[in-house]
Amino acid sequence: MSVSSDHNFSMHNVYHYANYEVGKIAKMAIWELDICSMSLSFSKNSYDIFELNVPASLSINELISFFEPAHCMLADDAIEEAINNGKPFDLELCLRTAQNTVIWTRFKGSAITDAYGKHISMQGILQDIDKCKKREIALQSALSLANERNKRLQNFAYIVSHNLRTHTGNLQSMVDMHNHAQTMTERNEIFGHIQSVSDSLNLTVKDLEEVVKVQAEISSDKKIIKFETAFTNILRALSNNIEEADAIIEYDFSRCTAINYIPAYLESILQNLLTNALKYRHPDRQPIIKCHTYLKNKHICLIFEDNGLGINMARHGNDVFGMYKTFHNKPGSQGIGLFITRNQVESLGGSIKLESTVNEGTKFTIMLT
């Protein structure tokens, strides 16, 4: 039975139409590179991915230039390795379309060899995987955040167990000593120690309540907060401390004026850092405290620095944000403020870094979002 050329033409059109529709649904284009002439051809679906209004021929270099700068080198190296050594590649790269839209793509290719083993061409696919990739990134971010919170919870549980066990152990010892005391004088003296331990236990419980409060407030609503408004409120609240220290406070929030954040957290962070700078000022010079914000890779950064006593980072660097860690003999130092500050920052996905030099000062760099 013979098949007419018209029928063949019809089937050919149906085949290509079916491929186009499948590619459109999958947001996938097929590409082929002739290694000898380095000419590149794409299936029709590529125009949708590149957001080109009209069909356009692209060179291999022009194709690579569509990828974001951080990924251009990966694509270029992969193609060169495939041409020279026949190594296939399967990459996930960010691409910037003709309409300036940045999307995640899957860029896959492999070399085709002739009967003599020579690489004569390359074939592959370019697929828009933006929605799937962003869901994957969001899931990984959520899992990382959950893991970090779990670690902090385990650490907090250890602190609670250790600190309360220490206090209750001391109380038990004092009670036993009180019960075995021979004279009223001994009992009164021991009772004074019991009262001291009790006061310390009460303070510890209050500190732990503050840490629990940090975790409980994570679900609080975020609001747009102006940095200058929040900071000047803290300055007013600490005006007596500032006057007593004769401190110079400099601030500049012009490079990033506001943030979407939990108000109580931002106020607590600013207050803890300012209180810290005032408390640990250098006795031989006027305190100068500087605070400013800026944007870095779409993240809001807060810088807080002073010219105070500083911290020996070689000795205490790993303990700076630990609970009940203090590094100067200052009255009222409890070692709870920076612990709470770090928990507040990290609970919302941020980070806090400290640089310090003894007798020169301290600088906090906080990535808030």
DSSP letters along 287-328, please? -EEEEEEEEETTEEEEEEEE-SS---HHHHGGGTTSTT---S
pLDDT digits (tens, 9 = 90+) for 309-325: 888 777 755 666 655 55
Does residue 15 carry a pLDDT above 50?
no
**Would you place residue 6 in the very low, low, confident or very high pLDDT band (cuts 50, 70, 90)?**
very low
Run of H or E residues at 152: helix 130-180
Please state, rounded to an integer, the average pLDDT across all residues of the chain: 80
- Determine the average pLDDT of the residues in 10-39: 64
Distances, alpha carbon 54 to alpha carbons 43, 127, 172, in Å? 13, 19, 84
Rounded to whole angstroms, the Cα distance separating 170 from 204 reads 14
Q: Positive or negative, the Cα torsion across 217, 218, 224, 230?
A: positive
Query: Residue 76's pLDDT is what?
Result: 93
Cα–Cα distance between 333 and 298 in angstroms, integer?
Answer: 36
CA atoms within 13 A on the CB side of 81: 12
Dihedral angle of Cα 105, 111, 112, 116, to the nearest 10 degrees = 180
Confidence of residue 101 (pLDDT cuts 50, 70, 90): very high
Q: Are 51 and 97 in contact (CB under 8 A)?
A: yes
Give the pLDDT confidence of 148-186 residue by residue, as tens digits.
Answer: 667 666 666 655 665 566 667 777 877 888 888 888 888
Kindly tell me if the per-residue pLDDT of 214 is higher than 90: no
pLDDT value of position 93: 94
Give this prediction's pTM.
0.49
3-state helix, strand, coil in the chain (%, to 5): 50, 25, 25
Contact in structure between 300 and 259 (CB atoms under 8 Å): yes
Name every residue whose Cβ is closer than 8 Å to that of residue 101 and which is 6 or more positions away in sequence: 51
C-alpha distances out from residue 22 to 16, 42, 137, Å: 10, 15, 26
Q: Which residue has the tokens 């507040």?
A: 344
